[in-house]
Amino acid sequence: MKRLGVMAALPQELGDLLTQMRASGDVQTVTLGQREYHVGAVRGANVVATLARVGKVAAATTASALIHAFEADAIVFTGVAGGVHADVRVGDIVVADSLMQHDLDASPLFPRYEVPLLNRSRFDADRALSAALANAAQAFIAEEGQALAARFSIDKPRVHRGLIVSGDQFIASAGSVNALRDALPNALAVEMEGAALAQVCYEYGVPCAVVRTISDTADAEAPASFAEFLIAIASTYSSGMLARFFKA
């Protein structure tokens, strides 16, 4: 790999990556399209790290810039998500096997969820990158699980692999999350960027992977749970997982 792109939507979701890059050597910051791209290294791996901000368009434009302006030849997205599947709890980690846009519907011209003229609705995450992320997540939980329980009352978090769905909506009601469950029973988690990244990476033939910590369960408690998790906990997860990912 020549250079790994690392994206998150919000600063807490990137953890201490920029600090780690600065500790590893020079970091050059370039502003493009109102975003800052930080080019440097972590433990000998060339990295370009950036904050995409929120939503599918933000993720797609940022992914395209990572590939074309910063020569990223693989991209990892780290952040939080709402739990959709009944087995997925706050504090668990979900690594995407595949991703789709739950709000894409050009029916009856094209089947619901299908990206028009691309002939597909699901985009696979890269297997090797996803396996490395899942291993890092597993190691983080094994080594830090007791500290998470003591600091944040997170009980026996688990790592899941499967479908992550993305859309330009913050899902925050029982009705909305139940509708998602009914429509897409395999969906583990919902967020607002991953499938856009996956589509761009598919179109350009660039491997990508998405790891998400569950901040809420996409119900009426979601706004409060999300805000608390983002401020107090998200950075601990992203830092812990990325440190182990780059150590491997």
Binding site for ligand ADE (CB under 6 A): 80-82, 170-172, 190-192, 215-216, 218, 222, 226
| Cβ 192 to ligand ADE shortest distance, Å | 5
> Quick one: 6 or 88, whose CB is closer to ligand ADE?
88
Cα Rg, the chain, nearest whole Å:
17
Residue 24, token pair as written in the block: 């590893």
> Quick one: 81 or 132, whose CB is closer to ligand ADE?
81
Spatial separation of the C-alpha atoms in residues 160 and 138, rounded to whole Å: 10
Q: Which residue minimizes CB distance to ligand ADE? A: 82
> Quick one: 70 or 170, whose CB is closer to ligand ADE?
170
> Quick one: 18 or 90, whose CB is closer to ligand ADE?
90
Whether residue 216 lies in the annotated active site? yes
| Cβ 69 to ligand ADE shortest distance, Å | 27
CA quadruple 220, 226, 229, 231: dihedral sign: negative
Whether residue 13 lies in the annotated active site? yes
Contact (Cβ atoms closer than 8 angstroms) between residue 221 and residue 20: no
| Cβ 207 to ligand ADE shortest distance, Å | 23
Spatial separation of the C-alpha atoms in residues 210 and 133, rounded to whole Å: 8
User: Look-up: residue for tokens 């998200």?
Assistant: 234
Spatial separation of the C-alpha atoms in residues 48 and 125, rounded to whole Å: 19
So which residues are the catalytic ones?
13, 216
